[in-house]
């Protein structure tokens, strides 16, 4: 058997666990995850290389109706990743199964090889998985059906074995140790945004963007210094993000620093600023400043 390589897109409704799966496959957090829908905004590549194959996984924004230009961008990202894939992984959340909403999405997908990943099986009883399988199989045919728990890394070996069966023979596209195409600075920004999503309530998080402005490494001290700006849409949001006496911003910073230290493998000195950029989600120039283009 020759060496195999190819592209595998992870798609599905928001919150299914797509980004959690990507991180689990890589053993490294490259994609932000949160219980809030629309956490993932752009295409994030995660590369798994072993002696038999190189699989390039593409995490995508969840499929939903766009409400602004950022939403339209997210939709185009998903459509593009879907059309480029050798294998599509359609992920559904076994604990929140809604056949009507799933079939609305699945109906629009024309792909040769599509797997059904039934995620979050750690949250449901075994007998609750069967209706998901039969419901989804009535909508369309799947090449493979694999129950997994992305969070607990259950079913991932089977997923990799099955995926390889459907990949064409091909060369390595990336060096062995490449994990992602995301620049270090954007991963740092995403880790910070993830913490903000976790601690902030409802309305504010959807309107934030994080930009790493400066990142320097002091080898002697094994210390990475990071300056990042959290952009939000309104003065009132800025006040919420900073919090009383800076308490909220401190909470975000402390949580982020923990992940940033693990990611960089160094100590981290993190400085965060909060700025207002009104209505940036509908402003082409701001979208491109924040890396959505």
Given the rule CB under 6 A, which residues bind ligand GDP?
14-20, 33-35, 39-40, 62, 119-120, 122-123, 149-151
Q: Which of 23, 40, 49, 182 binds Mg ion (CB under 5 A)?
A: 40
Instruction: Give the C-alpha separation, 289 to 16, whole Å.
Output: 29
Q: Which residue is nearest to Mg ion (CB)?
A: 40
Structure tokens at 277: 């950029």
State the nearest-atom distance from the C-beta of 283 to Mg ion, in Å: 23
State the nearest-atom distance from the C-beta of 175 to Mg ion, in Å: 26
The DSSP code sequence of 43-72 is: -EEEEEE-SSEEEEEEE-PPP----SHHHH
State the nearest-atom distance from the C-beta of 136 to ligand GDP, in Å: 16
Structure tokens at 97: 């199964």
Quick one: 4 or 13, whose CB is closer to ligand GDP? 13
> Which of Mg ion, ligand GDP, none lies near 207, with the C-beta cut-off 5 to 8 A by kind?
none
Instruction: Give the C-alpha separation, 59 to 53, whole Å.
Output: 19
> Which of ligand GDP, Mg ion, none lies near 287, with the C-beta cut-off 5 to 8 A by kind?
none
Strand ranges (DSSP E) for 21-133? Answer: 44-49, 53-59, 87-93, 114-119
State the nearest-atom distance from the C-beta of 262 to ligand GDP, in Å: 17
State the nearest-atom distance from the C-beta of 63 to ligand GDP, in Å: 10
Say if residues 117 and 92 touch (Cβ distance below 8 Å): yes
| CA torsion angle 109 110 115 119 (round to 10) | 0
State the nearest-atom distance from the C-beta of 3 to ligand GDP, in Å: 30
Nearest alpha carbon to residue 13 among 123, 115, 119, 87: 119
State the nearest-atom distance from the C-beta of 254 to ligand GDP, in Å: 20
Dmax over CA atoms of the chain, in Å, equals: 62
Q: Which residues contact 18 (CB under 8 A, 6 or more apart)?
A: 10, 11, 12, 40, 59, 60, 62, 91
N residues, the chain = 293
Quick one: 16 or 215, whose CB is closer to ligand GDP? 16
> Which of ligand GDP, Mg ion, none lies near 71, with the C-beta cut-off 5 to 8 A by kind?
none
The interface with Mg ion within residues 5-24 (CB under 5 A) comprises: 18-19
Quick one: 72 or 213, whose CB is closer to Mg ion? 72
Sign, Cα dihedral of 226, 206, 58, 150: positive
> Which of Mg ion, ligand GDP, none lies near 15, with the C-beta cut-off 5 to 8 A by kind?
ligand GDP
How many of the chain's residues bind Mg ion (CB under 5 A)?
4
User: From the centroid of its chain, how far is CA 164?
Assistant: 22
Which of these ranges, 35-43, 44-52, 123-131, 260-268, lies near Mg ion under the rule CB under 5 A?
A: 35-43
Quick one: 15 or 224, whose CB is closer to ligand GDP? 15
> Which of ligand GDP, Mg ion, none lies near 14, with the C-beta cut-off 5 to 8 A by kind?
ligand GDP
- Helix ranges, 166-283 (H): 184-199, 235-242, 247-264
Quick one: 49 or 119, whose CB is closer to ligand GDP? 119
State the nearest-atom distance from the C-beta of 41 to ligand GDP, in Å: 11
Contact residues toward Mg ion (CB under 5 A) are 18-19, 39-40
């Amino acid at each position: 058997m020759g060496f195999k390589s190819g592209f595998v897109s992870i798609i599905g409704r928001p919150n299914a666990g797509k980004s959690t799966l990507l991180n689990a496959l890589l053993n490294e957090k490259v994609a932000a995850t949160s219980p809030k829908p629309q956490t993932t905004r752009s295409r994030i590549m995660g590369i798994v290389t072993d002696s038999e194959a190189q699989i390039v996984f593409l995490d995508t924004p969840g499929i939903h109706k766009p409400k602004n230009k950022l939403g339209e961008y997210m939709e185009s990202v998903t459509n593009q990743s879907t059309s480029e894939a050798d294998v599509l992984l359609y992920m559904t959340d076994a604990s929140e199964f809604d056949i009507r909403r799933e079939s609305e999405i699945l109906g629009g997908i024309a792909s040769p090889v599509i797997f059904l990943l039934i995620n979050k099986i750690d949250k449901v009883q075994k007998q609750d998985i069967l209706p998901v399988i039969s419901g989804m199989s009535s909508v369309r045919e799947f090449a493979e059906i694999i129950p997994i728990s992305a969070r607990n890394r259950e079913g991932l070996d089977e997923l990799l074995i099955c995926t390889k069966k459907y990949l064409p023979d091909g060369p390595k596209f990336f060096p062995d140790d490449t994990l992602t195409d995301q620049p270090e600075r954007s991963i740092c920004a995403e880790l910070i945004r993830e913490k903000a999503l976790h601690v902030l309530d409802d309305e504010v998080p959807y309107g934030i963007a994080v930009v790493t402005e400066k990142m320097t490494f002091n080898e002697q001290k094994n210390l990475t210094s990071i300056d990042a700006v959290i952009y939000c849409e309104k003065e009132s949001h800025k006040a919420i993000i900073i919090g009383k006496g800076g308490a909220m911003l401190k909470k975000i910073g402390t949580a982020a620093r923990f992940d940033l230290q693990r990611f960089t493998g160094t100590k981290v000195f993190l400085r965060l600023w909060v700025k207002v950029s009104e209505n940036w989600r509908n402003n082409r120039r701001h979208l491109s400043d924040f890396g959505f283009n």
